[in-house]
Every structure is written in structure tokens, then in C-alpha cells.
Amino acid sequence: MILAIIVAAGLGKRIGSPVPKQFLLLKGHPVLWYTVRCFDGCDEIDGIILVTHKDWLESCYKIAEEFEKIRKITVGGGTRQESVWQGLKISEGAEIVLVHDGVRPLVPKTLISKVIKETKSWDAVVPALIAKDTIKWVEDGFVVKTLTRECVFRAQTPQGFKFDLLKEAYLKAKKEDIVATDDASLVERLGKKVKIIPGANQNIKITSADDLRLAEYYLDSLSKVGEC
């Protein structure tokens, strides 16, 4: 069984709205609605776990009414990592889990399928885009060194894992009080290899008003070619 854990529990205020980013309207629907649609329409996905904030459960239930594959909706924790763990705890029986940011509403179904295919071979897979800008390592406002651009990638989601591997990584993190910004980082701490595959430019993470406008542009463009 292949499950997708969609993390939508944050209450980030960077976008300047009292409404969490994942519930902002994007061309008439919440951002999260589009995210769920991407996974619900992917043949390889058997079920979806939604992790949200307790104050937004009702909004998730309304979204769930429109899709077939949402199996469970649960309340997240105080951090993204804690929220993913809540999703993992109710994903028993899964062979593969994909963890995805609820504020990435334009992930191509072809990328979801590719992550699943590669996870079957490599156990841990991250889609990523190679850095186009020159990357500087900075401390106290000064450049320490310039990183080799060809070796620097911008990680995206969904990140795919064999279920038992990701659960082991999370248990170790809880035991050692480790906090990471993505799931692959925890798997790396087990000494496991994480396979990088090409991400997608349209797979943007909405964290600002500019991102929301860019998502609208992508939706218009993709609709014209029948991809969204």
C-alpha cells in the first residue's frame, strides 16, 4: 500500500493573512484543495492522510467530501516534524509513504509517480532542482566561502520512503531530540543514502503573496494545455 501524508498544520503568518497559507483561496479553491487533487488523481496512490491544525479540521472535512482517497484526517503537532509523526502513526500497513507539503499545490502527477517508482528501488527519494544562482556560505553577515553550484540542490516534496525506514528515522530523532527541516535529513542521520531525482519548476511552495500570484499564473498556463 502506498500512502501520501499531506502536512497542512502550520499557522505561518509570513503571507500577511490571518488564514493559514494552505487555506488561502487560489482561483476559487483553498490551496490545499489543489494539493489533494494532485494526489487523489494519481493512480499509484492508495490513500491520503491529511494532517492539519485543530482549528482547521472542519475545512479539511469539507475538502475531503470532494475526493475519494482521503482515508484519515488528524491533528498535527507544534512543528512540521511532529505533524509528520502524527501522520506516520496512523499509516501502519503502508509499504511506501510520500510526505508532501500542503502548500505545494501544483506538483505534477508525473513527479508523484516518479517518486514512487524510484522509492521502490532506492528506499528514500527526494525531488530537487539544481541551484541556478551562485550560493554563498555566510556567517555574521560575511561570506565564508562560495559553494560549488553543481553540488547544491533545492529540495522539494513529495519525499518518498519505505515506511519502516522513515519510522525508524523518526523514532531515532525523537529519542535523540533531533529537529530537522525535512524528512530526508532524518533518514540521512541513519547513514542511509537518499536518491535525488529531478524536481519540477511548477512545484512551488507557497510562502508569500508573490508565490500565490505565481501559482495563479501556473494554473492558468497549465489549464490551457490540459495539465491542471
pLDDT in tens, 63-107: 999 999 999 999 999 999 999 999 999 998 999 999 999 999 999
Give the pLDDT score at 13: 64
Q: How confident is the model at residue 222 (pLDDT cuts 50, 70, 90)?
A: confident
- Please compute the mean of the pLDDT values over residues 165-188 and round it to a whole number: 95
pLDDT greater at residue 17 or residue 151: 151
Give the pLDDT score at 159: 98
Is a pLDDT exceeding 70 seen at residue 227? no
Give the pLDDT score at 14: 64
Give the pLDDT score at 18: 84
Report the mean per-residue pLDDT for the chain: 93
Let me know the angle formed at the C-alpha of 137 by 134 and 141, rounded to the nearest 5 degrees: 110
- Please compute the mean of the pLDDT values over residues 55-66 and round it to a whole number: 95
Q: Where are the domains of the chain?
A: 2-224
Give the pLDDT score at 92: 87
Give the pLDDT score at 122: 96
Phi, psi of 33 (to 5 degrees): -60, -45
Which region among 26-40, 123-137, 214-228 has the lowest average model confidence (pLDDT)? 214-228
Q: How confident is the model at residue 150 (pLDDT cuts 50, 70, 90)?
A: confident
pLDDT greater at residue 18 or residue 53: 53
CATH classification number, 2-224, choose in 1.10.287.1770, 3.90.550.10, 1.10.357.10, 3.30.450.20: 3.90.550.10
Q: Region of 99 please: left (phi>0), alpha (psi -120 to 50) or beta.
A: beta
Is a pLDDT exceeding 60 seen at residue 173? yes
How many angstroms separate the Cα of 202 from the Cα of each of 88, 105, 157? 27, 9, 12
Is a pLDDT exceeding 90 seen at residue 52? yes
- Please compute the mean of the pLDDT values over residues 21-43 and round it to a whole number: 96
